[in-house]
A and B are shown apart, each in its own frame.
Chain A
Amino acid sequence: MKRSPYDHLRAVLRIARWEVDRSASVVDRRTAALGVVALLVAGGVVAAGAAGGGVALDRDIYRVGVAPDSPYREPVERSVALDARPAEPDAFRAGEIEVLVRDGRVLVANSPKGRAAASAFRSAVRAYNVGLMRAEENGSAAFPVVVVVQYASQSAALPDSVTAGDGDGGAIGGDDGGSGGGGDGTDGSDAGSEPDDGGGSTGGPLGVPALEGLNPLGGGGSGSPAEIQPPFPFGSLVLAFAFLVPMNFVIQAYGSTMLNERINRRGELLLVAPVSPGDIVAGKTLPYLGLLVGLTALVAVAVGGSVVAVAAALPIALLFLSATFAGAMFARSFKELTFVTVTVSVFLTAYTFVPAIFANVTPIALISPLTVVVRDLQPLQSVAPLEFAFATVPFTLCAGVLFLLGTGIYREEDLFTQRPVPLKLLDALAVRVTKPRHAAVLAGLTVPFVFVAELLVVAVLFALPVSVTVPIVLLAVAVVEEVAKSLHLFAAFEADRFPDTRRTAVLLGALSGLGFFVGEKFTAVVQVVGLPELVLGRAAFAPSGIGVTEGAALFLAPLVLHVVTTGIAALGARRTLRWYVAALVGSVLLHTAYNLTVVTRLA
């Protein structure tokens, strides 16, 4: 039965309308009432808390013994983290106070906690001094030093967005609101109005500054050195997080509606209707995608993002939805679905949010589309088209592949049975491999996942010394790539798609390796983004021939490698799981050896 695209579109829209109608009927009066109650309770709690004086996670965690008549009493009482106690030596000896101020001497308990308390005490006294000086008549004596911080580029070897003219990056001090000479110096007074050492609301090292300082150029103040802020785009980060919040809630409803089709065989009606599984999935997804686009646009309007921010948030929304959909296809019960959605939420939120923190520091941050959002929200920052592509394309591709795999098992034998999850995964893969050439296509499609996984490895190991991490990275990369290239072959052999002869296995392995090689070549964009600047980036991506210009031999070497290793894995895959794992270990070792050789030769 061949149907025109127009028929498909009509079916999709009909299902979408039906989904919206059904959802609207769910929200009956009782749910609405319950929702209002929940919001009222939460609102009451927030109001009570606000009356109690703002968020302070570190309230009174250190105790300082200080006499009421001591000059140090007031700074301690003003500080959130410090709790003023009577100055009794006995209490100090008993460990009931960490810092004791007596007769002008400061005693500190000899423990990590004591030292941390002393450091908080020092900050509190410093903040108190600043306040004291503010009250002075004689301004030039109270604040004898006036500082303006400027950011200037030191080299031209970095991509355009990182270097520009020597722009003023916003001055500290209200007298000069950043002349913004076309530069992109990150702003010096971006992290809230509280000075870093303010006795205000800093919660440990991850202080939560008050949000009224979100205006990036509104540093204000005296220009005193006490107010210098490192370039940390705190305000933009908080605003960027607002883009992620609606996604986390929408996927819960979306996962529910998808799993609902599978419970009590409700989805059968849809399956017997003259529509394809793809239409059903697209139709049911459309309303939620539309909702997310609408919410994202609303958030962008609210926080002052541009079209770029919405365009960068869209791939994140797609990946949230696709991962939830795949999870709903695999889950066997509501409980399992909850864990899937929580996992998706946590993992994707972490994966997108954490790199964005380093938006102004390192090119690695561009592995997350949220970095694009953060940069878009900052004045004087721009995103180059190539950087935008680097951040968003892997996400979009991953989402597409997940939808493809999930739709593959949108059929009776998988929808309504309780097959174990690993077998379902093999099913989803095997559905897609019916001809040998599919092996190559599917291997090529795994590249975005491999890319994301490898970038995650690089990002996690980024903080460690290079000598330790390079071998770990190389091994991790080999494991990820070998599994990606051969898992669908194992699935195909398990499902008896091909005769399990040695010749077939070698052929499929070679095709798979070729497909992966072609896909890998597309990742050459890393070069543009400047990842090779990092030693780790080079280690992870050089073996695939990126950034290497030593003639055709090295260009084709990865192809030979992929064909050989996948061939080995395929020979194991045609037998049993045990054989497959054993062959996989062999191919991973070979791959790692190759990677090590290439990296050491390049170094």
Chain B
Amino acid sequence: MRDRTDPRVTIARRELGQLRKEKTIVLALVLQLFIAAFSSFLVVGLVSLYDPGQVGGTEVDVAVTGDASEELIRAAREVRGVDARFYRSEASAMRAFQEYRATGIDAVLVAETRDERVFVRAVAPDSNVQTTVVVVQLRDVLRAFERAERADRAAFLASTPLELPPETDSSPYLGFTYTILLPLLLVLPVFISGSITVDSVTEEIDRGTLELLRVAPVTLHDVVDGKLAAAAGLAPVQAGLWIVLLELNGTSVANVVPLVALVAGLALTVCGLGAAVALAAPDRRAAQFLYSVGVLLVIGGTTLLPHGPVTAAARLGIGSPTTGDYFAVAGVVALAVAVYVGLHRLVDRVDADAL
């Protein structure tokens, strides 16, 4: 007897219906949004701590003293957001630092020349919000100072340091968005889809509902296929959704098609592995544990590979793809097909009555 619809489609529909009824998919999306928002907030917070330009015109006032202070003040003029003032003695500079409410002094630099070097003692405030900003600014001043001093001694050097390319106003978030946020948003749906597959299979086994499916005119292959289609199909859709959201947010993502193909391949691989673990493991606790350890270690591990899926996603998204990245996408898709074939071999060996 042939029904008009493929039994696999029916089962996939049933799976999606369950997800919709339980509203879990909504929860999953909210969760991913939370992760994205929180990691972005985190980076904004961190960058505002590290990059004084982001904090809205904080001016760092430095008290400079010692015999090399003239050169140091000249070097400080090169750095934005630093105001260096000369103090006659270390004691008066430290007093100004202690009475910072009146003087506004945030840090002290004591520069003294001894045996052909300049020894600088930098005093920064400890443990307040300003500390990091102050230290970063001091570092910039001292780097400029070092360059100037080095140029004075160029005659004694065997090789001259290269001239630094000009400074640019670059957004500190750009690298983060493409190398961490985008791969994270692409991998999360994959991980969640795999979890759904593990649960869906173990639940049928645990509740004994596979029996009911068995009396319907479907094979175990159909059941597994339907579940895979539902779970693995969700991941690329979510990935596409995130890419659209990033576009709306002003982050343009290049190579959308290879990226979605990469996610689809990863999702099929991970869901296939999840289904295999669920069929092989004795109960849900073991299955979920094996699955999450395995996937976390494998996905975490592939970040180590020079052309792993995670770094490939970053390069594709930012628009600097190499040939190797397209190979990586193709490799993941091939792996997915291999896992799928292997899973069906496993299903052949599983005795459905024993489940």
Contact = CB atoms under 8 A, between A and B. Distances in A.
Interface of A: 23, 26-28, 30-31, 34-35, 38-39, 41-43, 45-46, 48-50, 52-63, 71-72, 75, 81, 83, 98-99, 106, 108, 112-113, 115-116, 118-122, 125-126, 128-129, 132-133, 135-138, 140-155, 158, 162-163, 169, 183-186, 188, 203-206, 224-226, 228-232, 249, 252-253, 256-257, 260, 263-264, 332-339, 342-343, 346-347, 350, 354, 357-358, 360-362, 460, 462-463, 465
27 contacts: A30-B280, A30-B282, A42-B297, A42-B301, A55-B303, A61-B320, A116-B174, A122-B168, A125-B164, A141-B153, A142-B157, A144-B117, A144-B152, A145-B118, A163-B126, A203-B180, A205-B47, A228-B138, A230-B136, A333-B199, A334-B199, A334-B203, A339-B24, A339-B27, A342-B31, A346-B34, A361-B132
Interface stretch (B5-13, B288-296, B346-354): B288-296
B285 A26 contact: yes
A113 B41 contact: no
Contacts of A224: 146
Interface string B140-183: 00110110011011101111011011111111111110111001
B162 A71 contact: yes
A155 B156 CA distance: 45
Interface string B1-29: 00000000000000000110010100110
A225 B145 contact: yes
Contacts, number: 374
Nearest to A353: B42
A115 B311 contact: no
Contact of A151 (B131, B154, B192): B131
A460 B282 CA distance: 43
Given A115-B169, A141-B116, A204-B175, 11 more contacts: A53-B306, A61-B178, A61-B320, A125-B162, A140-B116, A186-B126, A205-B47, A225-B142, A252-B289, A256-B284, A333-B18
Looking at A46, A116, A232, A334, which has the most chain B CB atoms within 10 Å of its CB? Answer: A334
Contacts of A120: 175
B158 A136 contact: yes
Given A60-B315, A204-B175, A49 B305 contact: yes
B199 to A, nearest CB: 4
Given A121-B165, A145-B149, A152 B97 contact: yes
B86 interface: no
Interface of B: 18-19, 22, 24, 27-28, 31, 34-35, 38, 41-50, 56, 97-98, 100, 115-129, 131-132, 135-136, 138-139, 142-143, 145-146, 149-150, 152-154, 156-159, 161-162, 164-176, 178-180, 183, 192, 195-196, 198-200, 202-203, 206-208, 277, 280-286, 288-290, 292-294, 297-298, 301-306, 308, 310-311, 314-315, 318-320, 322
A361 B282 contact: no
Given A144-B150, A148-B120, A149-B122, A336 B22 contact: yes
Given A30-B282, A339-B31, A58 B314 contact: yes
B304 A151 contact: no
A455 B302 CA distance: 37
B175 A249 contact: no
Contact of A144 (B42, B135, B146): B146
Nearest to A343: B31
Given A45-B297, A147-B142, A228-B135, A154 B175 contact: no
Contact of A226 (B22, B143, B168, B303): B143
A149 B304 contact: no
Given A140-B117, A354-B42, A357-B42, A335 B171 contact: no
Contacts of B125: 151-154
Contact of B122 (A99, A133, A150, A203): A150
B301 A46 contact: yes
Contacts of B280: 30, 34
Looking at A145, A147, A188, which has the most chain B CB atoms within 10 Å of its CB? Answer: A145
Nearest to B55: A463
Looking at B183, B283, B310, which has the most chain A CB atoms within 10 Å of its CB? Answer: B283
Q: Which 6 A-B residue pairs are closest in the complex by CB-CB distance?
A: A49-B304, A42-B297, A204-B175, A45-B301, A225-B142, A151-B126
A157 to B, nearest CB: 10
Contact of B121 (A28, A150, A263): A150
A59 B178 CA distance: 11
B135 to A, nearest CB: 5
A175 to B, nearest CB: 10
Nearest to B145: A145
Contacts of A343: 27, 31
A141 B156 contact: yes
A115 B132 contact: no
Contact of B19 (A50, A106, A335): A335
Nearest to B106: A154
Given A58-B314, A334-B202, A63 B145 contact: no
Contacts of A98: 320
B290 A145 contact: no
Nearest to A463: B45
Contacts of B169: 115
Nearest to A332: B22
B71 to A, nearest CB: 10
Contacts of A61: 175, 178-179, 314-315, 318, 320
A324 B168 CA distance: 49
Given A63-B320, A115-B170, A152-B123, A34 B290 contact: yes
Contact of A31 (B22, B200, B282): B282
A154 B170 contact: no
Contacts of A357: 42, 45-46
Contacts of A138: 153, 156-158
A204 B116 contact: no
Contact of B127 (A108, A118, A146, A162): A162
Contacts of A225: 120, 139, 142-143, 145-146
B148 to A, nearest CB: 9
A358 B41 CA distance: 13
A511 to B, nearest CB: 35
A552 to B, nearest CB: 34
A10 B265 CA distance: 53
B175 A52 contact: no
A118 B315 contact: no
Contacts of A53: 306
A59 B195 contact: no
Nearest to B324: A60
Contact of A342 (B38, B150, B195, B297): B195
Nearest to B139: A228
A45 B302 contact: yes
Contact of A38 (B120, B153, B174, B293): B293
Contacts of B166: 106, 118, 122
